[in-house]
Structure 1
Amino acid sequence: MQCVRSLALLLLLVVKVHGDFVEPPQSHTSMRSLAESQTRLPCRYQPVEGEKVVQVTWYKELADGSKDQIITAHFSEGHTGFGRYSGRVKFESSSPTENSALLIPSTEESDEGIYICHISTSTHRHFERHITVTVLILPISTLDPVILKEGDSYRLAATCRAVGRPPPRLSWDSDLPGHSKKDIRQGGSVYSYFFLHPLRSMNGKKLDCLVWHPGLNGSHRISNLLEVQYPPDATITSVSGDWFVGLENAELVCDSGGNPKPQDFTWTRRGGALPDGVSLVGGKLIFGRTLRLNDSGVYECVAKNIAGVGKAEYSVTIAEFSQSKGFTNDQNLLLIVPGSLAAAAVVLVLIIAVLYHPHRNRKLERQLNKKTSRIPVNVNVIVQVKNSKRKQ
């Protein structure tokens, strides 16, 4: 029992004599830092009562096991930087013997390694903390898409490339059927290739590259839409379904589709040239005058893009009259005028006969009444003239 108490007392004395590290608590620790960002190397020793830190020195362990002195701070003589670290590093606190944390304001890849914080106390004791620093370089990434054509064989659709430290990991986010192939090269460059068989239904579908790296919070997405070019699928439509003589503003429209959208349209009429008075505006064939009977025919539209050609035909038949509106005003006039003139001539003959043959008045009057009942209202004026003469 007495032995146990003595051992406990000895441990308390050792702790009290040696003091303690506030940070880092472990003798060996590891951390990551990003290139071109600030790195903080923690080191703070809490001495026991009656003891104080008189000097702190930072070292970097070299590959051969030797040490490279970085910076030193003395409680009364200030601090000094050494070699290539002079001006590149600094203590975090204005009282380095109290807070001995070291700052590297702009971290470089060459700063990776093992750092040693060495504490010297007024009791001539020495304590150390070892910190292993891994310098990460955030990836620089690119995606190079390939423009595909319908009908091409199984081929490369996109290449994703990233370079970083450590080498990034790449993956694809897409519902497209295909497969990827990876390639890691010197210098931390990573490539991923995506292959597929191009179809027009794939045009505009998502093919994103995801870049994964320890320095990233999650993944970095490079958005991309697959482009598949395909020939036009031409169709011809008519705004006016009823084509007849005298129709105005008639036009045929060539709906082409395709990728890319075609800009080259050609219109022809089977068996001859296009009628006079028509114009081509994009995919439209516009009649700049009223329609004629000889505008009938089979019209063809040819739409072209870099992927191919699309053709469509449309048969135009010009009717003499509108099927939905009956006769036109001009046609009605041509029918009404001759009929009215003929009716007026008959009435005129009857009036003359009545005036010059009194003994036949009654018979002719009955015939006249029958004739006038068949004549349009505007001819009754003539009948009124005959009646006025009889009264006289």
Structure 2
Amino acid sequence: MARHDARNWIGLFCLVSSILTDHGVMGQRVKVEPEVLSYPGQTVNLRCAFTDATGIQLTMVTWIYEPKEGERINIAVLHPSFEPNYPLSPMKGRVSFSPSPPDLASPSIQISNVRMTDEGKYVCEYATYPIGNEQGITNLIMLAKPQNSASVVTVEAGTKPVVVARCESVDGRPAAKISWVTAATGNGTVVSKAGNDNTVTVSSEYRMIPTPADNGKDISCVVAHRTQAKPESFPLKLAVQYAPQVTIVGYDNNWYVGRTNVVLTCQATGNPVPISILWNTMSGVMPDTVQIKGNELKVLKVDEAVNTTFVCEVKNRIGTSRDQVTAIVREPSVNPSNAGVVAGAVIGSLLALLLVAALICVLVTRSRRQQQGYRANGGSDMKTRIFGGGKKASKNGTSGGAGSGGVGGGNNNGPIYVYNESSSHQGIGEKNNHHQPLTMGGRPEVVTTTPTAQDILLSSELDEAERRKFDELEEEERYDHFGGGGPILQLRPHNDQEDMIGDYDDDMESHRDGSVISRTEVYV
């Protein structure tokens, strides 16, 4: 039983498929354009053809108009045995077969001066034998290019949504599509209504809660329509009116007594543009040193009278707004211009100190170079210098006259400074005439040591008078002023003293007092 039912269903499916296939094949025999576009006033061609009439007799062709609303109407009939016929219809007088004379195999028609009401379906229907009627359907779409426009609506800032811009597409076919592009927060509404001659008018409004910050923002209405190659855009700017917004700038919280030419500026924005700016004070009394010009208040010289609150009041058609700033007058501060003078003085002082330091360095260097002249040649010899008019000592160290053992004439009361180069750690000492006797060759001797000229100059034990005395003595030695009253002192290296023994007579020198003293030895 189940198997029998399955067979019945399969047979039914095959029959339906066969019927649909035959119908589709036959339906494709009538060739038409699925869609035709036209504008009002133009002439439109609606083509139709029977592609394969083999074994089929074409009896008659009828064109039928099927509006969107209403009944079907025959507008053109073609029979091989009769003349073309155009029944009564809205297209009568404007419709005809083309080309002429007409042919059943290609019975196309044309409609001149088309109207917007001509839009709808047009059916090309064949009466044939033996397969019956065959047809093809063409949609005639009437196009009307709309008139597009957009505008802003001037509004006042508030708290409720209002219409701030409008956009409209008038008498278009088909209906246009409108959209909004903006950074403002809101939404658009769209309304469509039928126009004349089967056209459509589309209107859109953009609504939002306007604020002062929205004034001047960009907003664009974009209209898209089938008759346009690309959407049409209308850029606009929102117009939001609001009371002035006021701000006073220029106060730096550093108004001190005596400061001059400080300026306060009253900055105000508003829509419409402010018509008046008024400066005042909270006390109602404007200081005498204040000068007002437009939105600027200039204080020529700050004094105690400026220690007040300044008010700027701005007005436009929407309302009045104000701002205020309280000036606090301080004690006079250091003139910033003195900073340059102070800096210059400091820099000048530093330069002067550097110059003095450089001069000292030069003098010290020069002094050291001069002191080099006081050094004697040799590495470890004992060098002596006696200040005053004392006599030279003999080679054997005995004091007195030439070769005598006693103390000779002359002044031997000056201090004797002793320095030994071979022992640099030995200090500088001062010896009076109380000498310590030493034995040299069986006879008592007095040995004294003195520092070099450099050590004497660097020693803190010498005062300025001694240095001058030393310089005078050195000058006498340098130029050998033998005509002086005191004895002439001469320093010789130790190795030269040994050679002097053979030339005793040449080494001796006579003095004014009649005594003869060795040049190389100093007698104490």
TM-score using structure 1 length = 0.50
The separation in 2 between residues aligned to 1:235 and 1:129, in whole angstroms, is 77
Change (3 A) 1:129 1:22: closer
**2:46 corresponds to which residue?**
41
Change (3 A) 1:306 1:23: farther
In the alignment, is residue 299 of structure 1 matched against residue 310 of structure 2?
yes
In the alignment, is residue 31 of structure 1 matched against residue 30 of structure 2?
no
**1:67 corresponds to which residue?**
74
SS in 1 for 2:37: strand
Shift of 1:303: 1.9
Change (3 A) 1:95 1:176: farther
Gaps of 5+ in 1: 1-19, 50-55, 73-81, 120-125, 328-392
Q: What is the letter of the counterpart of residue 337 of structure 2?
A: K
Contact 2:189 2:206 (C-alpha < 8 Å) held by counterparts: yes
Q: What is the letter of the counterpart of residue 268 of structure 1?
A: N
1:185-239 CA-to-partner distances (Å, cap 9, x unmatched) read: 4433344444333333444445444445555567544444433333333222239
Q: What is the letter of the counterpart of residue 31 of structure 1?
A: E
The separation in 1 between residues aligned to 2:247 and 2:210, in whole angstroms, is 24
SS in 2 for 1:110: helix
SS in 1 for 2:143: strand
**2:296 corresponds to which residue?**
284
Contact 2:98 2:108 (C-alpha < 8 Å) held by counterparts: yes
Structure 1 or 2, whichever has the larger Rg, is: 2
The separation in 1 between residues aligned to 2:153 and 2:334, in whole angstroms, is 54
The separation in 1 between residues aligned to 2:313 and 2:272, in whole angstroms, is 15
**1:272 corresponds to which residue?**
285
Contact 1:245 1:321 (C-alpha < 8 Å) held by counterparts: no
Q: 2:116 aligns with which of 106, 109, 116?
A: 109
Gaps of 5+ in 2: 1-27, 55-60, 79-87, 127-132, 340-524
Contact 1:200 1:229 (C-alpha < 8 Å) held by counterparts: yes
Shift of 1:109: 0.8
Change (3 A) 1:245 1:107: farther
**2:420 corresponds to which residue?**
none
Shift of 1:267: 2.0
The separation in 1 between residues aligned to 2:241 and 2:161, in whole angstroms, is 15
Contact 1:292 1:318 (C-alpha < 8 Å) held by counterparts: no
The separation in 2 between residues aligned to 1:279 and 1:185, in whole angstroms, is 60
In the alignment, is residue 145 of structure 1 matched against residue 155 of structure 2?
no
Contact 2:255 2:329 (C-alpha < 8 Å) held by counterparts: no
Q: 2:245 aligns with which of 219, 226, 233?
A: 233
1:296-343 CA-to-partner distances (Å, cap 9, x unmatched) read: 53432212233433312243859889832359xxxxxxxxxxxxxxxx
Contact 1:243 1:322 (C-alpha < 8 Å) held by counterparts: no
Contact 1:268 1:274 (C-alpha < 8 Å) held by counterparts: no
In the alignment, is residue 253 of structure 1 matched against residue 265 of structure 2?
yes
Q: 2:142 aligns with which of 131, 135, 145?
A: 135
Q: What is the letter of the counterpart of residue 139 of structure 2?
A: T
Contact 2:264 2:296 (C-alpha < 8 Å) held by counterparts: yes
Shift of 1:254: 1.2
**1:156 corresponds to which residue?**
163
Q: 2:175 aligns with which of 167, 177, 192?
A: 167
SS in 2 for 1:306: coil
Shift of 1:158: 3.6
**1:17 corresponds to which residue?**
none
1:148-192 CA-to-partner distances (Å, cap 9, x unmatched) read: 333333433344443433434444445544455444444333444
Q: What is the letter of the counterpart of residue 209 of structure 2?
A: H
**1:310 corresponds to which residue?**
321
SS in 2 for 1:301: strand
Shift of 1:265: 1.5
Contact 1:44 1:99 (C-alpha < 8 Å) held by counterparts: yes
Q: What is the letter of the counterpart of residue 207 of structure 2?
A: F
**1:362 corresponds to which residue?**
none
Change (3 A) 1:65 1:85: closer
Shift of 1:45: 7.2
Change (3 A) 1:113 1:182: closer
Q: What is the letter of the counterpart of residue 39 of structure 2?
A: A
The separation in 2 between residues aligned to 1:23 and 1:175, in whole angstroms, is 52
Q: What is the letter of the counterpart of residue 284 of structure 1?
A: E
**1:356 corresponds to which residue?**
none
1:121-169 CA-to-partner distances (Å, cap 9, x unmatched) read: xxxxx99765331213344444443333333334333444434334344
Q: What is the letter of the counterpart of residue 41 of structure 1?
A: L
SS in 2 for 1:231: strand
The separation in 2 between residues aligned to 1:103 and 1:210, in whole angstroms, is 36
Change (3 A) 1:102 1:255: farther
The separation in 2 between residues aligned to 1:324 and 1:141, in whole angstroms, is 66
SS in 2 for 1:302: strand
SS in 1 for 2:117: helix
How many correspondences in the alignment? 293
* Identity across the alignment (%): 23
Q: What is the letter of the counterpart of residue 315 of structure 2?
A: K
Contact 1:293 1:320 (C-alpha < 8 Å) held by counterparts: no
In the alignment, is residue 196 of structure 1 matched against residue 208 of structure 2?
yes
Q: 1:262 aligns with which of 256, 264, 274?
A: 274
Change (3 A) 1:191 1:242: same
The separation in 2 between residues aligned to 1:102 and 1:308, in whole angstroms, is 71
The separation in 2 between residues aligned to 1:192 and 1:128, in whole angstroms, is 43
1:30-75 CA-to-partner distances (Å, cap 9, x unmatched) read: 42525346745345678999xxxxxx998867865443459x9xxx
Which structure is higher in RCO with an 8 Å CA cutoff and minimum separation 6? Answer: 1
Q: What is the letter of the counterpart of residue 152 of structure 1?
A: T
Cα RMSD, aligned residues only: 5.7
Contact 2:168 2:203 (C-alpha < 8 Å) held by counterparts: yes
Map 1:327-338 → 2, pairs under 5 A: none
Map 1:182-193 → 2, pairs under 5 A: 182-187=190-195, 188-193=200-205
